[in-house]
A = this chain, B = another copy of it.
Amino acid sequence: MAFRLRVLSVLVLMIAAVRPAAALDIALSSFTLGNGMQVVVIPDHRAPVVTHMVWYKVGAADEPKGKAGIAHFLEHLMFKGTSNHPVGEFSQLVRANGGDENAFTTQDYTAYFQRIAKERLALVMELEADRMQNLVLTDENVLPELKVVQEERRERIENDPSGLLAEQLDAALYTAHPYGKPVIGWMTEVQQLTRQDALDFYAAHYEPGNAILVVAGDVTPDEVRLLADRYYGVLKNKRPLAERIRTVEPDAVAERRVTMRDARVSTPIWQRKYLTPAARALPQRDELAMSILAEALGGGAQSRLYRTLTIDKRLAAYAGAWFSDDQLDSGDFGVYAAPNPGVEPATLEKEVDVILADLRDKGITQDDLDTIRNRMIAESTYMLDSQETLARMFGVALTTGQKIDDVLNWERDIAAVTVDDVSRAAKRVLDLRASVTGVLLPEAGG
């Protein structure tokens, strides 16, 4: 699953910014099995295929003390076979039946999915339900995979200065909440993970009552209910679910800054992240105001950051902003820019701060709002053409404390956002005390 996390972070980020239009004709149905497993069915009859996803409401932020990386490591180990299907058979069967599969781990959820011909839905359900309870781990399988995970970390973090910086930024931004810990885990803890750690985490969190089934594709709710009952409904929850220990991040009191020098860096990068309330803690309308704020600030070539820094003043090679609210306990609002040769990052930062202050003081115009909103709606319609994206969106929403209605009412809610909402969002978000600023530089004198 080497590169899934990165793929996800990008995808979810887009998803977070663009929810589906209510106009989208989804005859969605949702129900719960006797064992508490939630089921969401999204009919999509454009092609005779289905996307089958199982989402566990557990992620890196739920890891026990000292076991950083165990959620992601277990995701890898879920492919190591069960008492019914030896190692490798799962993936072989999926491929042999013309399907493909995927898995990913975040701070809040771990998800497994397959895309396959509709006639094979029962097959993947049987396989997924099987590994929900019958995983078999041997040191012969676990120990080599632990090396794989360490190598994955080396590739994505140690060997990538921007990856290292991102990790340091989160570590500095969160003082107490586990989001300050990287999903892939600190190398010093990952190296210590054991087969037993994985089995303990599996036993504590992989239960039908802690899972959500999302099926999108050429099926009816009744067909899905029948199969879901047969394969998942028969599973018993073996124990009470482990408590999710999520510290409430204390109120931010200080501006933080991380400066990293690395010989591998040629172009400096400047960025800042602001902590924002969790999506579930605000009305969706306020969340969407933050998305619109991010778009106004740094969404594309017409955005204020890009226009001013890249086109008008030629200070930056590129500049942008993002808003991500795909987490259970908090979101983050980011701003970034890459100084042109000869431009001091500090100079660039001053210019960014001027743009931010202007936006905070003056807000945006109705024209800005309308333009951005129309673009977001158009993009969402385009994105939702993908069955996988569609299915993934509901999985993300339901594992991060949001409701199906939030997704379905997206266009209604974004239509309700006013310029005043955006101004309030700017004042709420752009508070340096809740921020970390990161600067990545070439080695001194380098």
Contacts and interface: CB of A to CB of B under 8 A. Distances in A.
A257 B250 CA distance: 19
Interface stretch (A18-26, A47-55, A61-69, A316-324): A61-69
How many chain copies does the complex carry? Answer: 2
Interface in A244-301: 245-250, 253-262
A188 B249 contact: yes
A65 B254 contact: no
Contacts of A248: 188-189
B186 A175 contact: yes
Interface centre among A164, A167, A247, A248 (most CB of B within 10 A): A247
A39 B165 CA distance: 48
A181 B176 contact: yes
B176 A247 contact: no
A91 interface: no
Contacts of A65: 64-65, 178, 245
Contacts of A168: 175, 253-254, 256
A17 to B, nearest CB: 28
A246 B250 CA distance: 23
Given A168-B175, A187-B250, A245-B65, A258 B260 contact: no
A168 B259 CA distance: 17
Contact of A254 (B66, B187, B258): B258
B259 A255 contact: yes
A171 interface: yes
A432 to B, nearest CB: 8
B259 A164 contact: no
A172 interface: yes
Contact of A260 (B175, B255, B262): B255
Contact of A175 (B171, B253, B257, B261): B171
A376 to B, nearest CB: 35
Nearest to A252: B168
A78 B246 CA distance: 28
Given A64-B65, A176-B189, A165 B254 contact: yes
A70 to B, nearest CB: 12
Contacts of A246: 66
Given A172-B256, A260-B255, A188 B250 contact: yes
Contact of A258 (B250, B256, B262): B256
A255 B254 contact: no
A183 to B, nearest CB: 14
Contacts of A171: 175-176
Contacts of A164: 253-254
Interface in A150-208: 164-165, 167-168, 171-172, 175-176, 178, 180-181, 186-189
B172 A188 contact: no
10 contacts: A65-B65, A65-B245, A68-B176, A168-B175, A176-B188, A188-B247, A255-B258, A255-B259, A256-B257, A257-B259
Given A175-B180, A257-B258, 12 more contacts: A66-B245, A66-B246, A68-B176, A164-B253, A167-B175, A168-B254, A168-B256, A171-B175, A186-B250, A188-B248, A253-B260, A255-B258
